[in-house]
């Protein structure tokens, strides 16, 4: 029963990922194939992470059980994490081909005295690398085996890295909207996913506070 349900989850998520990725790639039609694939994976990853963050607060708002590790939340996060990691790998080959280190360190001959690149392009890539590292940890933890070995409390603490990762993704994505001068439709999609996630998180926190106050009275 659970296996069948998760297969349905993956089938629906895969369909949504293909449709979203194809739409983003179509908007990027003027770019090269690597840029199109990288952008498609970026938005698939963002959508997966955003939806996984929305499930908990929505459960709270609806008065539904909110388990430590719900299958749908985990499956969405897994798809978002894998897409995000693939985006990192391919994205590092889109610009500065043959000089990948310049994503993170100043160009030779530049006036920078710092070992790291701190212009908008550099900050975007530092945040992207941080987000990728966190996504890797979360993907590795997205299994029943990891949950059993760590225990619910410790597993949940590690899962809270998701919020730091989400902030890094937000910064990375926002900077790239500016750096690449993305089309309005992609900026709007990015903004919609971010704003919707923040609103849902805020509603969830409000519901938790309301329940806490009710329990004390």
How high is the pLDDT of residue 187?
Answer: 94
150-181 tens-digit pLDDT: 888 888 888 889 899 999 999 999 999 999 88
Q: Give dist(CA 133, CA 131) in Å, integer.
A: 5
How high is the pLDDT of residue 38?
Answer: 94
pTM of the model: 0.90
**pLDDT of 17 higher than 70:** yes
Average of pLDDT values for 115-134?
93
Of residues 150 and 131, which shows the higher confidence score? 131
Report DSSP letters for 161-198, one per residue. HHHHHHHHHHHHHHHHHHHTT--HHHHHHHHHHHHHHH
Question: Which residue has 């500065």 as its token pair?
Answer: 96
Q: What is the average pLDDT score of the chain?
A: 88
Average of pLDDT values for 21-38?
89
Tokens of 124: 């975007």
**pLDDT of 68 higher than 70:** no
How high is the pLDDT of residue 36?
Answer: 93
How high is the pLDDT of residue 217?
Answer: 63
69-87 tens-digit pLDDT: 777 888 898 999 999 999 9
Domain count, the chain: 1
How high is the pLDDT of residue 5?
Answer: 77
Q: Give dist(CA 158, CA 136) in Å, integer.
A: 12
Domain ranges, residue 205:
2-216
């Amino acid at each position: 029963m659970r296996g069948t349900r998760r297969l349905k989850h993956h089938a629906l998520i895969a369909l949504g990922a293909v449709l979203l990725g194809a739409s983003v790639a179509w908007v990027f039609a003027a770019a090269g194939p690597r840029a199109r694939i990288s952008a498609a994976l970026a938005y698939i990853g963002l959508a997966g992470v955003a939806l996984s963050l929305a499930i908990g607060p929505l459960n709270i708002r609806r008065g539904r059980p909110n388990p430590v590790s719900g299958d749908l939340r985990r499956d969405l996060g897994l798809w978002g994490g894998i897409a995000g990691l693939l985006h990192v790998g391919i994205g590092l080959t889109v610009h500065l081909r043959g000089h990948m280190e310049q994503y993170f360190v100043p160009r030779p001959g530049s006036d920078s005295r710092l070992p790291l690149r701190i212009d908008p392009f550099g900050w975007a890539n530092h945040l992207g690398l941080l987000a990728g590292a966190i996504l890797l940890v979360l993907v590795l933890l997205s299994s029943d085996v990891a949950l059993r070995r760590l225990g619910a409390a410790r597993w949940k603490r590690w899962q809270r890295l998701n919020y730091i990762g989400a902030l890094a993704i937000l910064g990375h994505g926002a900077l790239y909207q500016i750096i690449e001068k993305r089309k309005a439709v992609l900026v709007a999609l990015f903004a919609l996913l971010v704003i919707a996630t923040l609103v849902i998180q805020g509603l969830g926190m409000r519901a938790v506070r309301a329940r806490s106050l009710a329990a004390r009275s």
